[in-house]
Amino acid sequence: MASASSSNSSVVGSKPLPSSYTTHQLGPIDHQLPPFIPVACIYLYRHPIDSLKLRNALAVLLDTYPHLTGRIGIRADGAPEVERIGTGVDFITATWPEDIELSSSTVVTDLPDGGNALLAPFAPSTTGPPAVPILSIQHTSFPNGAVALGIRVLHCCCDAAGYFLLVRHLAEVYRTGGIAEPPVINSFLAEVQFSDEEREEVLSIESSGSSVTETQPTFVPPTSPPAGRILRFTKSELEKIKAAATPSNGWISTFDALSALIYQRIYRARCSLGQTNATAFLSSIDQRAASRLNFPPNYFPNGITAPTFELAPSELADAPLSTIATRVHDFLRSEDSDHILSMLKWFTAQPNKSKSLSRFPVDRPGFMISQWTNVKTYEGVSFEDEDPLLVATPFTPISLLNGLAYTLPRKDGDGLELAIALSENVWEVLDRTGGFEV
């Protein structure tokens, strides 16, 4: 395989920071994410983007997002925080020796090393502070004039909505020199303090999202290595899936229907391989809406919660698709804002947050799906006078996780793309049995 030649530099803000600003506190939603997991995408453009102008725009951007120049540390209570602010972010300029195909049918797996070669090197520690920059950008030029931007941010600092807001702001600075509507970078409940009585009351509440344990569960890797695929669903295909999944006397969303179909088909394939306990389901729920926690516009930190549930093996395997879709629909709407707020306060009050764990099991296979079709992936990210040809998340060594899926919008608006990783033996079963067709 060809390889890129590159140069690396560290970038800080264009203005000096106050000497007192050395740490930045994250909030309880941020604390749910392991500090070594990133959000990363590749932006592919047909024509050049000036790398020096981009680097200068990044410096101006960091005046508004100064905490991204720090490094993740771990507090005494086990929660991550941003420290050493002003250390800098990675900016890499690279040149790829071969032309890249520029087609409306291009998907991320068509890119060099599936897109991984277009991201900055990344080798975080998984047993302590990750010891890597929070933000990294790689600008890769191709002989035919195309440019790819590989942009990565540590997930404990933002979710997908915050990530795409950051990229839109970077493009805005590149085009105009500034940001018209700055972000909110302070995390919800990051500075909350409890009295002894308040803490005791909060800790008495049962949390549905996390549990406290003295024993860390052991991750069990799949016996067959995972492989990532990009599956395209047109609007007509999604309408067919929704029709098959909608109960006669109810309503479900397209996301409910597609999630239920994948959840059930994967489980049936796993059952044929003897994996009958693979019943766990996890999805992300955005809490920004006024009907939920009502975060301000341009809220950058994590605003999602990721609850989990399980169906009985017999129901998941044998029930009609409409029943599974109804279960998914009801689950994703089951927690009101008061309960979510109580859960976050419960987590904040924990004296040792390293022992507070998601209830999603890691010792057996499950299904996790994140909805990126509701965030603006293609909007506002024109650096020059050109929209990106492709915006996609690559299958990295961290995200190539058995059972992990993302729904992403298609640029042409005709349906969506599903980025999903499954064990190769599960793919073999699905390929023989019709996959996700209805």
Helix (H/G/I), strand (E/B), else coil: 201: helix
CATH number of 223-375+384-433: 3.30.559.10
DSSP 3-state percent helix, strand, coil across the chain (nearest 5): 30, 20, 50
Which amino acid would we find at residue 56?
Answer: N
Angle at 419 (CA atoms; ends 406, 122), nearest 5 degrees? 85
Q: What is the pLDDT of residue 143?
A: 96
Helix (H/G/I), strand (E/B), else coil: 371: strand
Which amino acid would we find at residue 325?
Answer: A
Q: Name beta bridge partners: 349.
A: none
Q: What is the pLDDT of residue 336?
A: 85
Reported CATH class of domain 5-176: alpha beta
Q: What is the pLDDT of residue 356?
A: 63
Q: State the Cα–Cα distance between residues 50 and 38, nearest whole angstrom.
A: 26
Q: What is the pLDDT of residue 37?
A: 94
Segment 321-354, tens digit of pLDDT: 999 999 999 999 988 888 889 889 988 988 888 7
Are 293 and 287 a contacting pair, CB within 8 Å?
Answer: yes
Q: What is the pTM of this model?
A: 0.94
Q: What is the pLDDT of residue 109?
A: 94
Q: Where are the CATH 3.30.559.10 domain residues in the chain?
A: 5-176, 223-375+384-433
Which amino acid would we find at residue 349?
Answer: A
Helix (H/G/I), strand (E/B), else coil: 43: strand
Pick out the chain residues at pLDDT < 50.
none
CA distances from 421 to 37, 404, 431 (A): 16, 6, 14
Q: What is the pLDDT of residue 118?
A: 97
Closest to 292 measured CA to CA, from 229, 343, 231:
343
Q: What is the pLDDT of residue 219?
A: 63
Q: State the Cα–Cα distance between residues 413 and 406, nearest whole angstrom.
A: 17
Q: State the Cα–Cα distance between residues 301 and 370, nearest whole angstrom.
A: 17
DSSP 402: T
